[in-house]
């Protein structure tokens, strides 16, 4: 049984402005449609390893800002490899039905019940940094289980730990400063170094966030309802050992 579509071989595509092999000829509308609805330039449904269930939440202005940035990158000629979709995702109607069931139907909206920092953290975690894509367990249909938000899952053979505020199986015992240090640098005293997908997330993206954004993320995380998890909590016996390629 296929338990996690991220472990299926899928190739990410060339998003440089190259005219032939990149997205140089895409219109802005096609780019927005890809991120918001998981649809490729020629109308094809894209495989959900591209985290469009999170990107669907992005505000359109932010998608256009990403597009504007990408279009200033150096074009690279590099043809895309063919994705071999595995059953049942190779059946077009399955992807369509899956999207109808699991795609958010609206963009992210601020909550009036919370302050600006919480809302910023919520937008970063849910839409841009898609923490739940790895940290929320999936159901048999490969969709994240909202009732188990951030309770931990296994991704590409790595444990993406419980990041709710449960003090035994989650990160409830971490101080805010420890969480902030971990998210911005991939290291926190007594918690070791981030490896696997987390190492990449920090190295390629989170370490570029401002300290206000890191604090906002941490604040938002602290308000996620605590969940106990079946995954053993992370106890690092060799905190000095580097586990993966991170900064």
* Contact positions vs ligand HEC (CB under 6 A): 125, 129-131, 133-135, 155, 158-161, 163, 171, 179, 182-183, 191, 194-198, 201, 206, 217, 221, 234, 243
Least distance to ligand HEC from the beta carbon of 237, Å?
A: 13
Taking the least distance from each CB to ligand HEC, the nearer of 114 and 243 is 243
- Least separation, in Å, of the C-beta of 225 and ligand HEC? 15
Where do we find the tokens 């996620």?
224
Task: Please state, in angstroms and as integers, the Cα–Cα distance from residue 66 to each residue in 28, 52, 72, 125, following that order.
Answer: 10, 14, 10, 17
Closest CA to 162 of 174, 176, 177, 178: 174
Nearer to ligand HEC among residue 38 and residue 132 (C-beta)? 132
Decide whether 8 or 94 has the Cβ nearer to ligand HEC. Answer: 8
* Burial class of 132 by CB neighbour count within 10 A (0 to 12, 13 to 18, 19+): buried
Please report how close the Cβ of residue 45 comes to ligand HEC at its closest, in angstroms.
22
Nearer to ligand HEC, 123 or 161 (CB): 161
Q: How many CB atoms neighbour CB 37 within 10 A?
A: 14
**Quick one: 103 or 154, whose CB is closer to ligand HEC?**
154
- Dist. CA 238–CA 219, nearest whole Å: 28
CB within 8 Å of 128: residues ≥ 6 apart: 54, 58, 62
C-alpha 235/C-alpha 247 separation (Å) is 22
Query: What's the closest the beta carbon of residue 154 comes to ligand HEC, in angstroms?
Result: 8
Nearest-approach distance from CB 233 to ligand HEC, in angstroms? 6
């Amino acid at each position: 049984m296929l338990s996690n579509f991220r472990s299926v071989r899928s190739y990410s595509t060339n998003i440089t402005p190259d005219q032939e092999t990149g997205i140089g000829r895409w219109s802005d509308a096609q780019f927005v449609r890809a991120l918001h609805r998981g649809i490729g330039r020629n109308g094809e449904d894209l495989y959900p390893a591209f985290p469009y269930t999170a990107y669907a939440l992005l505000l359109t202005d932010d998608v256009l800002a990403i597009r504007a940035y990408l279009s200033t990158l150096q074009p690279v000629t590099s043809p895309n490899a063919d994705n071999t979709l595995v059953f049942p995702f190779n059946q077009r109607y399955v992807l369509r039905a899956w999207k109808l069931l699991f795609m958010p139907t609206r963009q992210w909206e601020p909550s009036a019940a919370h302050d600006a920092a919480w809302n910023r953290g919520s937008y970063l975690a849910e839409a841009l940094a898609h923490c739940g894509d790895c940290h929320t367990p999936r159901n048999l249909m490969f969709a994240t289980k909202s009732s188990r938000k951030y309770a931990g899952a296994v991704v590409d053979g790595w444990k993406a730990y419980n990041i709710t505020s449960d003090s035994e199986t989650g990160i409830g015992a971490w101080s805010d400063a420890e969480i902030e240090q971990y998210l911005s640098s991939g290291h926190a005293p007594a918690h070791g170094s981030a490896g696997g997908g987390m190492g990449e997330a920090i190295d390629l993206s989170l370490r570029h966030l401002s300290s206000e954004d890191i604090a906002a993320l941490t604040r938002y995380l602290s308000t996620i309802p605590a969940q106990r998890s079946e995954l053993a909590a992370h106890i690092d016996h060799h905190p000095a050992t580097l586990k993966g390629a991170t900064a």
